[in-house]
Amino acid sequence: MGRTRAASDTTPGAGTRPWSPGPVVVGILNVTPDSFSDGGDFLDPEAAAVHAATMLDEGAGIIDVGGESTRPGSDPVSQEEEVRRVVPVIERILASRPEAVISVDTYRSKTAAAALGAGARIVNDVTALRGDPRMASVVADARCPVILMHMQGEPKTMQMEPHYEDVVGEVKAFLGLKAENAIAAGVSQENIIVDPGIGFGKNLNHNLALLRNLEVIVDLGFPVLVGASRKTFIGKITGAEDAGERVFGTVATTVLAYEKGVTLLRVHDVRANREALAVADAVLHASRL
């Protein structure tokens, strides 16, 4: 496993997935003033493009560009403002790094369409196509991969009192159903990625149960993405109140998730997670060396 970036996966059955085989680090780029960790750092398109280039150099296979924070308690922004934030950044990244694989973190079809028009190749929808009735057809028409994420409630209130009888079973059933719905709407099966939505309407025990049982989600048969990076539950365990101090805890989640079959890891700290994955991959799959 070297640092080759984003070669298309040509293994049988992989369809046209625009990322390398093996574990893929998805580097987070929030073009927002209020994201819980990097809010305000990359509002300037130039600063955002420089950070994307750094993440690509550190081994990110995908850059996930978002224009609206979905942290607990966050307020939505207008669709126009979201496009104003993400499109110039996507254009700027691709002008200097045309090979970069970019996903757009949005649940709005117009933003997704604008981002795809600017060269993004993946849609990351935290509402699993529930947020906008036109999103499924935008994704189906673009024939692009789509990330379907589980969330209980909505960002403004989701952490107030999350409740499940069986969090793992319910998240699995939800993702299976949303994948079926997407396929019925014309999205090709091989373009579906599922995500248990760590921290989205989940308390500490819910997050831990999901991370402990990720093989159940992998069992659905789709590539799985996990986004635990720097999230509050890590701080609750380690005592790191500052999100930037949660890198080591994040790396633990990355390695454990990969061992359970998760192949896409959405993180802020690309190098730390990439190196941990390279070692994990060498231990688990020595034949790749």
User: In which order are the strands placed within the sheet that holds 102-105?
Assistant: 192-195, 146-149, 122-125, 102-105, 62-66, 24-30, 264-267, 225-226
Q: Determine the Cα–Cα distance for residues 112 and 162; give it in Å rounded to an integer.
A: 29
Interface with ligand HH2, residue 159, by CB under 6 A: no
Interface with ligand HH2, residue 202, by CB under 6 A: no
Nearer to ligand HH2, 61 or 227 (CB): 227
CA end-to-end distance (rounded Å), the chain: 6
Which residues, 6+ apart, have CB-to-CB distance to 37 below 8 Å? 30, 229, 230, 243, 244, 268
- With contacts defined by CB under 6 A, name the span among 51-59, 90-98, 195-203, 251-259 that binds ligand HH2: 195-203
Closest-CA residue to 212 (of 220, 204, 221, 201): 204
Q: Considering all CA atoms of the chain, what is the largest pairwise distance in Å, rounded to the nearest integer?
A: 49
Interface with ligand HH2, residue 19, by CB under 6 A: no
Nearest approach, Cβ of 117 to ligand HH2 (angstroms)? 21
Of 52, 55, 70, 172, the one binding ligand HH2 (CB under 6 A) is 70
H-type helices in 7-76, by residue range? 45-57
- Which residues from 97-136 bind ligand HH2, rule CB under 6 A? 105, 124, 126
- With contacts defined by CB under 6 A, name the span among 41-49, 62-70, 158-166, 244-252 that binds ligand HH2: 62-70
- With contacts defined by CB under 6 A, name the span among 63-71, 89-97, 180-188, 275-283 that binds ligand HH2: 63-71
Active site positions, annotated = 231, 266
Q: Determine the Cα–Cα distance for residues 62 and 100; give it in Å rounded to an integer.
A: 7
Of 227, 232, 250, 274, the one binding ligand HH2 (CB under 6 A) is 227
Interface with ligand HH2, residue 82, by CB under 6 A: no
Residue ranges that bind ligand HH2, judged by CB under 6 A: 28, 30, 32, 35-37, 66, 69-71, 105, 124, 126, 147, 149, 195, 197-198, 225, 227, 266
